Amino acid sequence: MNSLPVQPIGTVKGPGETPNDYLLIAPDPERRVKHGEFVYYLALIEGETREILGRVTGRRPVRLLPDSFLADPGVPPATVAALLGYESEATELFEITVRVLGFHSAEMGDFINPRVPPMGGAPVFIATDALLGQVLNRRPQGGRGSAFLGSLLSRPEGAVPIALDVRGFTGTHLAVIASTGSGKSYLAGVLLEELLMPHNRAAILVVDPHGEYSTLQEMMNLGEFSEGNYKPRVRIFRPDQLRVRIDSLTVGDLRYLLPNLSEKMHYQLGRAFNFAQRSARNGHYTLEQLLYAVRQSAESKKESEGFDEDDPTTGALVWRLQSALGHSQIFHDFENLELEALFKPGQCTILQLNEIDRRDQQVIVATLLRRVYQARMDTAKGKLDRGDPSHLPYPVFCLLEEAHNYAPANADAVSSEVLKTILSEGRKFGVGIGLITQRPGKLDSDVLSQCMTQCIMRITNPIDQNRIAESIESVGRDLLQELPNLSKGQVVVSGASVNTPVLIKVRRRITPHGGQDLDAPAEWLQWFAQDRAAEQARAQALFVEKKIQYEDDGDVLWA
Amino acid sequence: MTDLPIGKIVKSNSHIDYVCQVFGQGETLHPPVPSAYGFGSFVAVELETAGEPDRALVGLVYNTLLMNPEFGALGPRLSPRSEVEIFSPDYLAETATLLGVIAIGWLDGVGQVHQGVPAAVATVNCLVRRLERTELLTFHADGTGQPQLRYTPLLLAHNHALVAPLLLAVIDQLGELFPLSRSRLTVMRNNIAWKSIVQPAG
């Protein structure tokens, strides 16, 4: 048991509305009992005095100075009370609602609810920083498997550091939900920094549709990230370096990439795909071989026993395949992003998908996730040898920015299915997914509810708030109400990586932040400082007489 | 040494609400000064002790009343006041100071103190004296030396305009007697002051 603070903050009044709530009365002149603050009372549990921790969820005044005392803004109401003979400073009393979390059991690594409200009149204390640091974190800051995200918001910065359990969110997935400008990319940057610290050395892939994460490269040069021989590696794949080998596309991917397929084309594409797979050597085939398969599988061929280029279905399919795959830099006959190049412990690979068409992005992500998942399954089941390029003998973590593009609600995307599979089954094979989205309302609710760790930042849109409330049970209603009021860099973390939902102020990033907004006024002013002077000089410059050479007959030879 | 009597019981309005007449000139050798029976003073009403278990009632002065038959007689007097003292001294005795005393406890025969409604009844002419400081301390201390105010409900139930100021006066006195317990007395004082001062004014 920890040493007690000297003064209690309030006194238990009695049980609250629900079995897990209790009420306390506090004068709180120093305004220490904030929303979300942690308080505790002492109770005897199995012969041992335990601190039963709870979180403040409500505050209601039960005694206030009368309104009529507030008539003159220049006269403090307490002086009016003193004028009448009430000279005490104790003019306010509050009824505080506390949600019981329970006492922290070191053996269980979790809170255990005593399932009985405290006795009326029991003193209630503000939890000390040391106690909170001990019970809120599953892992000590800087310890193996910890990701130090920031410090508890209700305390001074740095007083109670909060470290997420990396095992929790890499196993059962992570969702970062925040509206634009609330700092979600910054938070993701902090998470990635932590994952690449010497005590974690994770194998990470970041899908970066805006090219915001390139600043992470600085990690390679900073001393904070290296230890002994270890130094993190950050690899960036720019859009022109991305490759998807055509034979890694499924028939579903092909159907998704090809626009406006008729029923007949669907059917023929399926047949052609099977044909190409059957006839391919080592499972590999090129676009040309796929086109050959399309021609081979034409319905009319059976009868005429020859190619029929005039068959409209075959022609249309060939044309579509050519235009979707043949003219693309990404889809390639032989090259592929090799998994062993993408995933290595201590390496963060950033796939920059900016300037790439939305559907192509979805196909790239879908094929990649499918391959990673298959590779991890095959490796876990011992199907792959050490030398195989798909051999992935370590768990991996994939972070998807703008995740609502890859698993949209009420819309069909080729990546949705594989994402759902990994989210529900990936835990067994060590494929962790982190989803970052600014529109949870646009994200598939099944996908969101499978992420067991949630980092939620400011959300003001009511549709998005409702989606969060529907999909995420671990965040209490009281914390959801806080979401519109959060400031930049403040985050509610709940779920499998923390012992209880906590409000955190995100720590400063070690590497510079790459996702800052463009400062338009500054750029405009800069134009006046530099470009305009040059333009004026150009405008005011005298014309230079050009020497024109004429041919003998008077025609202009060149100017 | 016990304080000198300040007066005697002359009437009661209820089992706990007595009227004490303060001794005037000529009734005792040392007539009490007004500060001896001020508002909020603790007094002891000495009981007839023959065969009775209780020795005295403990009371609290909650009200005072002046009796003056001369009030309203506005006509001219034939005899000046100095002559009245010689020719009709009984007339002078008709002016009196009356105290409203509420019984809030008792002292028993073995020196124990009790707070609450006493079983014993004071009789007319029982002497009333001021409670000494040590008696006041003993009367208010519980077994552990902490102050007790078990007669508060009795006072609050006594429907009188001066009950709240009376309680505030009592608590202030106890604050001096029990300096170590001032915090708990302050809670009670603030509560009464809030209800009697701030709330009605709002």
User: For residue range B105-144, what is the model confidence (pLDDT) as tens digits?
Assistant: 999 888 889 999 999 999 999 999 999 899 999 999 988 8
Q: What b-and-e string marks burial along A295-319, b requiring 16 or more CB atoms within 10 Å of the CB?
A: bebbeeeeeeeeebeebebbebbbe
pLDDT for residue B99: 96
To the nearest whole number, what is the mean pLDDT of chain A?
A: 87
Query: Which residues of chain B have a CB within 8 Å of the CB of A63?
Result: 194
Q: Pick the residue with more confidence: A451 or A538?
A: A451
Output the pLDDT for position A309.
56
pLDDT band at A483 (very low <50, low <70, confident <90, very high): confident
Residues A527-552 have a mean pLDDT of: 76
Q: Which residues of B touch A (CB under 8 A)?
A: 186, 189-190, 193-194, 197-199, 201-202
Task: Please tell me the distance in Å from B145's CA to the nearest CA on chain A.
Answer: 22
Select from A556, A445, A429, A454 the least CA-distant residue to A504: A454
Higher-scoring residue by pLDDT: A476, A364? A364
**Quick count: other Cβ atoms within 10 Å of Cβ A559?**
7
How much is the pTM?
0.77
CA A499, CA A506: separation in Å to the nearest integer?
A: 18
pLDDT at A263 over 70: yes
Write the DSSP assignment of chain B as a string of letters: -PPPEEEEEEEESSSSEEEEEEP-BTTBSSPPPGGGG-TT-EEEEE---TT-SEEEEEEEEEEEEEE-TTTT--SPPSS-HHHHHHH-HHHHTT-EEEEEEEEEEEEETTS-EEES--SS---TT-EEEEPPHHHHHHHHB-TTS-B--TTHHHHHHS--TTHHHHHHHHHHHHHHH-GGGHHHHHHHHHHHHIIIIIHHH-
> Could you say which of B186, B190, B198 has the minimum Cβ distance to residue A65?
B198
Interval A48-107: pLDDT, tens: 899 999 999 899 999 888 888 898 999 988 888 888 888 888 888 999 999 999 999 888
Contact A380, A269 (CB under 8 A): no
For tokens 């409702």, the residue is A466
What is the pLDDT confidence band of residue A257, given thresholds at 50, 70 and 90? confident
Judge whether A402 and A436 are in contact, CB under 8 Å: yes
Name the token pair of A74. Answer: 């220049």
Topology given in CATH for the domain delimited by A146-242+337-506: Rossmann fold (3.40.50)
What does the pLDDT average to over A138-150?
88
Q: Tell whether the model's pLDDT for residue A551 goes beyond 80.
A: no
* A186 contacts A506 by C-beta, under 8 angstroms: yes
Q: Examine the pLDDT at A303 and tell me if it is beyond 70.
A: no
Which residues lie below 8 Å from residue A448, measured CB to CB, with a gap of 6+? Answer: A175, A177, A435, A440, A467, A468, A471, A472
Q: Angle CA(A549)–CA(A552)–CA(A557) in degrees, nearest 5? A: 35
Average of per-residue pLDDT across A208-237: 89
3-class DSSP state for residue A252?
A: helix
User: With an 8 Å Cβ cutoff, are A88 and B193 in contact?
Assistant: yes
State the pairing for strand pair B96-108/B54-67. Answer: antiparallel
> pLDDT band at A1, cuts 50/70/90?
very low
Give the C-alpha distances (Å, rounded to integers) separating A115 from A10, A46, A384, A495, A505. Answer: 21, 13, 51, 21, 31
Mean pLDDT, residues A517-545 taken together = 80
What DSSP string runs through A119-148? Answer: PTT-EEEEPPHHHHHHHH-SS-TTSTTEEE
A29 has pLDDT over 50: yes
Closest CA to A251 of A276, A283, A282: A276
d(CA B12, CA B18): 4
pLDDT value for A299: 64
Give pLDDT, residue A307: 53
CB contact under 8 A, B202 and A63: no
Which residues touch A350 (CB under 8 Å, ≥6 apart)?
A206, A208, A213, A214, A216, A234, A235, A236, A237
> From B196, which residue of chain A is nearest by alpha-carbon distance?
A86
Q: Which of A25, A84, A89 to mutate to test the interface with B (most CBs of B within 10 A)?
A: A84
Chain-chain contact of B202 with A66 (C-beta, under 8 angstroms): yes
Backbone angles phi and psi of B41, in degrees to 5: -75, 140
As a dihedral over the C-alpha atoms of residue A120, residue A125, residue A126, residue A127, rounded to 10 degrees, the angle is -110
> Hey, what are A103's tokens?
């006492």
Cβ–Cβ < 8 Å for A483, A492: yes
| Tokens linked to B107 | 């002292």
The chain A residue lying nearest B195, using CA atoms, is A86
Kindly report which listed range (A128-137, A254-263, A270-279, A303-312) carries the lowest average pLDDT score: A303-312
Q: What is the arithmetic mean of pLDDT over A509-516?
A: 80
- Across the interface, whether the CB atoms of A88 and B186 are under 8 A apart is answered yes
User: How many residue pairs from chains A and B have C-beta atoms closer than 8 A?
Assistant: 31
Question: Can you tell me the distance from the alpha carbon of A200 to that of A230, in angstroms, rounded to the nearest whole number?
Answer: 11
Q: What chain B residue is nearest to A88 in terms of C-alpha separation?
A: B190
State the burial class of residue A115 (Cβ atoms within 10 Å of its Cβ: 0-12, 13-18, 19+): exposed
Given a cut of 70, is residue A306 above it in pLDDT? no
Output the pLDDT for position A193: 93
**Cβ pair A170, A179 in contact under 8 A:** no
Task: Give the model confidence (pLDDT) of A267-277 as tens digits.
Answer: 989 999 998 88
Alpha carbon of A141: minimum distance to chain B alpha carbons (Å): 42
In the prediction, which pLDDT does A305 show? 52
Alpha carbons A390 and A378: distance in angstroms, whole number:
9
Q: Is A300 helix (H, G, I), strand (E, B) or coil?
A: helix
Interface with A, mutate which of B168, B186, B192, B194 (most A CBs under 10 A): B194
Q: For B62-117, what is each residue's pLDDT tens digit?
A: 999 999 877 877 777 777 777 777 777 666 667 889 999 999 999 988 888 999 99
Distance (Å, whole) CA A342 – CA A365: 13
A81 and B197 in contact by Cβ < 8 A? yes
The pLDDT assigned to B97 comes to: 93
Residue B1 confidence (pLDDT): 44
Of residues A303 and B179, more confidence is placed in B179
Lowest mean pLDDT among A123-132, A286-295, A459-468, A473-482: A473-482
Q: Between A474 and A383, whose confidence is greater?
A: A383
Share of chain A above pLDDT 90, in %: 33
Tokens standing for B153? 């409900």
The Cα B166–Cα B36 span in angstroms is 16
For the record, the structure tokens of A538 come out as: 């150009």
Q: Do B186 and A63 touch (CB under 8 A)?
A: no
pLDDT score for A89: 81
Three-state DSSP class for A56?
strand
Report yes or no: A495 and A452 within 8 Å, Cβ to Cβ.
Answer: yes
Give the count of beta carbons closer than 10 Å to the beta carbon of residue A245: 18
Helix, coil or strand: residue A416 = helix
A480: Cβ contacts below 8 Å, ≥ 6 apart: A465, A468, A469
Residue the block writes with tokens 């890694």 = A248
CA distance A244 to A360: 10
Q: Give how far A82 is from chain B: nearest CA, Å.
A: 9
Which tens digits make up the pLDDT trace of B3-52?
Answer: 789 999 999 999 999 999 999 888 888 899 999 999 999 999 999 776 67
- Containing A422, the helix (H) or strand (E) segment is helix A414-429
What value does the mean pLDDT take over residues A185-210?
Answer: 92
Contact call for residues A280 and A247 (beta carbons, < 8 A): yes
CA–CA separation, B181 and A523 (whole Å): 69
pLDDT for A200 equals 92
Three-state secondary structure of A197-234: CCCCCCEEEEEECCCCHHHHHHHHHCHHHCECCECCEE
Residue A246 has pLDDT above 50, yes or no: yes
Q: How far, in Å, CA of A259 to CA of A524, rounded? A: 42
CATH 3.40.50.300 intervals, chain A: 146-242+337-506
Please determine, for residue A302, whether its predicted confidence score (pLDDT) is greater than 80. Answer: no
Kindly give the residue spans of alpha helices, DSSP state H, lying in A33-156. Answer: 77-84, 129-136
The Cα A324–Cα A367 span in angstroms is 16
- The CA-CA-CA angle for residues A229, A234, A239, to 5°, reads 160
Give A368's contacts (C-beta < 8 A, 6+ positions apart).
Answer: A205, A244, A337, A342, A351
**Least confident segment among A58-67, A149-158, A352-361, A469-478:** A469-478
Q: Residue A559: which pLDDT band, with cuts at 50, 70 and 90?
A: low
By Cβ distance, the residue of A63, A84, A88 closest to B201 is A84
The answer to whether the CB atoms of B202 and A86 lie below 8 A apart is no
Whether A55 contacts A38, CB under 8 Å? yes
